[in-house]
Amino acid sequence: MAGQQIELIYEEYERFIYHLCLKLTRNKDEAEDLMQDVWLKVVRNEKSLEGVDHVKAWLTTICMNTFRDRYRKSVRRSQHVMDQPDSLDVPILDLVPCADPTADDLLERDDMRQIVQSKLAELDAIYQKTVLYFYVNQYSLIEIADLMKVSIGTVKSRLFRAKQRLKEMMLMDETASGYIGA
């Protein structure tokens, strides 16, 4: 059943994802590679699909995140290669960072997630709900405006104010400010 659902999603959104990948990479071969990575992630995360209300938004998020990850990885690799002295005592491939996050990276990410969630819980309910709709549920501004029975401008203002308030709270928190480099 799940395999059929993924097939249907692929048939419906394959061209959309390809064009998005092409727009991001501006290169046909890289777009095809990126698209393959995106669909691999979709298949690997097919259990997450059950809770998805907006498949196109979910796919777009996966595509954007995959592109960002690939871009960051290529930048990191090029920095390591460019910053090396002329003579190397070790093979160049040993200098390329591992693509998998380290234990420290995972712990830092978990700490940041907990801090952000605690600060989010301190926001006024209206801002909290707007942030959750936009960033967690991946609703569009129009969808949020309809759900909250307000204008799109109001949704944008609430998102802006919520982000400002979160930033202020993070900077005032000693633990959080250590992570964001303030």
Instruction: Read off the pLDDT of residues 139-178 as tens digits, 9 standing for 90 and up.
Output: 888 999 999 999 999 999 999 999 999 888 888 877 666 6
Give the mean pLDDT of 92-98.
48
51-55, 85-89, 106-110, 178-182, range with greatest mean pLDDT: 51-55
Q: Has residue 85 got a pLDDT over 70?
A: no
The CB density around residue 34, as the number of other CB atoms within 10 Å, is 23
pLDDT bucket at 39, cuts 50 / 70 / 90: very high
Query: Is 95 or 130 the better-scoring residue by pLDDT?
Result: 130
pTM, full prediction: 0.44
Taking residues 121-135, report their average pLDDT. 90
Distance CA 74, CA 61 (A): 20
Q: Is the pLDDT of residue 76 over 80?
A: no
Q: Are 13 and 45 in contact (CB under 8 A)?
A: no
